Amino acid sequence: MFFRLNRYFNAGMPYSRKPLQSLWFDIGIVATLILCPIACFLLTRTFVSLLWEILYVSEGESKILSVESDFPSDASSGSSGSSSSMDLTPALPGINLPFSDLPFYIATLIICSVLHEFGHALAASKEGVRINGVGAFVVVVFPGAYVDLPVDPLTALPPWRRLRILCGGVWHNLVIAAVAWALLASNPVLLSPVFRPGVAVVSVDGSISEGAAGPGGLWPGDEVTAINHCEVRSTTDWESCLGQYVASRLEGGCLPRNFVLGAAVTATNFSVGDQKGSKRSCCSPGVESSTDLCFSLQPELNAQRECLPVRRSLQKLSVPCRNSSSCAEGSEVCATPILAHPSHRLLIIKRANVRQDMLFVGPPEELWKAVRVIQYVPRAGLSLASSQTIYYWETLLRYLVSFSGALAILNAMPCHTLDGHWIVMVLIELILGRSNPSLNRHAYNVLTFTGTTLIGLTVTLGLKKLFYFM
């Protein structure tokens, strides 16, 4: 499906020669030229990082790194194979982007592509270049835009005027990313009359985690204050705390010896739900309990493992421990939960609006994927729908920062079919002049071949990482 809009720009050509427009696109040229070496550095760093991970990191380690890279860098183990948040990575819905974000993905593509091409069209109209075609198209469900400029009138312009047209798209993408980032940064101040600081649950996806969405799980509107001993005051804290438990070893807590002896007897007799007086417990093979959990004890009491009521045990915990040396000798034991998988953790989610803590047993990344949170808690009397609206708004802004910034970086590279190969052609002409066309052509071929190869290899390695190590 195509829509042609060039007549609107061509009709406006007699009225478009304004000093402010010239200044606007002159600033765009400077910004694009500054971005060019930065783009080369980021693409090179991303390529080296991906190549290192594929060549020197095993498949199992890569899976761990891919999980840890979902969280902030301070929460990961710091391995050299982990990728930085500024690296460029292919984004595919259903692979490394949730399908629930598809509307944001499509909306971002529309905004970024349309305003990118609008930059070219507006600059061309301002410079008096008649536009052959401007329009939008849709491939399956993915939108796009295009501008068709005549080559001869474009190349007849002086180099600086040509750069205004060629850099217009990159410049508009930079502006989109900057405006979106500024709105994100100013939201806490702008929203302070109706929201206060804190972490509120917006939604919980039960298809990803039944434990997070069950009767005793999290609910939209819950205000999260801590995960185990890690305080949660912002969305960054939420991710950091979950990432901390991905990277750290499973640890237990010190329990009073007398409590363990009494609670273990009760759990052994009544926890399973068979007939009264059954001697099976949650430590027995094949037995599961919704209220009790099997703990490993150091030093052991009546047995090395004991089935204990989870909530009562957690209320009695004094300090974290990994062995008995951390607990009071003679009066306490170190009780470590025995979980079904090494990646599982016992997480205690504390909430300000609910007295009873939420208990989660499973991989922390599952909780991170299933639960959407926002860094704004509605003040008294504000409905949850407003919080969801702010969440959607901030999600769109984050997509705009990432996608529009990435589009600007890619188009600043000297790559065939992208704006960069036209820009580098004009820059070579400005630097070397027109006296030696063969030298200009050689420099152009070297730069565009290098840029195209770098982007092609980076995208290929990024896709290989996504599909091979997923």
Q: Report the pLDDT value the prediction gives residue 193, as an integer from 0 to 100.
A: 87
Rounded to an integer, what is the distance from CA 200 to the centroid of its chain?
18
Do 318 and 278 form a contact (C-beta atoms < 8 A)? no
- Tell me which of 274-278, 322-326, 373-377 is least confident: 274-278
- Tell me which of 106-115, 139-148, 153-162 is least confident: 139-148
Q: Report the pLDDT value the prediction gives residue 81, as an integer from 0 to 100.
A: 34
Q: Report the pLDDT value the prediction gives residue 448, as an integer from 0 to 100.
A: 95
Which of the given ranges, 88-92, 301-305, 455-459, has the highest pLDDT on average?
455-459
Mean pLDDT of 59-83: 43
Question: How far lies 187's CA from each of 198, 280, 287, 382, 383, in Å?
Answer: 14, 55, 50, 17, 18
Q: Report the pLDDT value the prediction gives residue 415, as an integer from 0 to 100.
A: 92
Which of the given ranges, 87-91, 167-171, 264-268, has the highest pLDDT on average?
167-171
**pLDDT above 90 for 408:** yes
**pLDDT above 80 for 70:** no
Q: Report pTM.
A: 0.77
Residues of the chain with pLDDT > 90, as a percent, come to 34
**pLDDT above 70 for 51:** yes
Mean pLDDT of 147-155: 84
The residue behind tokens 């729908």 is: 385
- Tell me which of 80-94, 189-203, 222-236, 280-294 is least confident: 80-94
Element (H, E) at 361: strand 358-362
Mean pLDDT of 388-417: 92
In the sheet where 142-148 sits, what is the strand order? 2-4, 133-139, 142-148
Q: Report the pLDDT value the prediction gives residue 83, as an integer from 0 to 100.
A: 39
Rounded to an integer, what is the distance from CA 343 to the centroid of its chain?
21
Average model confidence (pLDDT) across the chain: 82
Better-predicted residue by pLDDT, 56 or 219:
219
Coil vs helix vs strand at 371: strand
Q: Report the pLDDT value the prediction gives residue 457, as an integer from 0 to 100.
A: 93
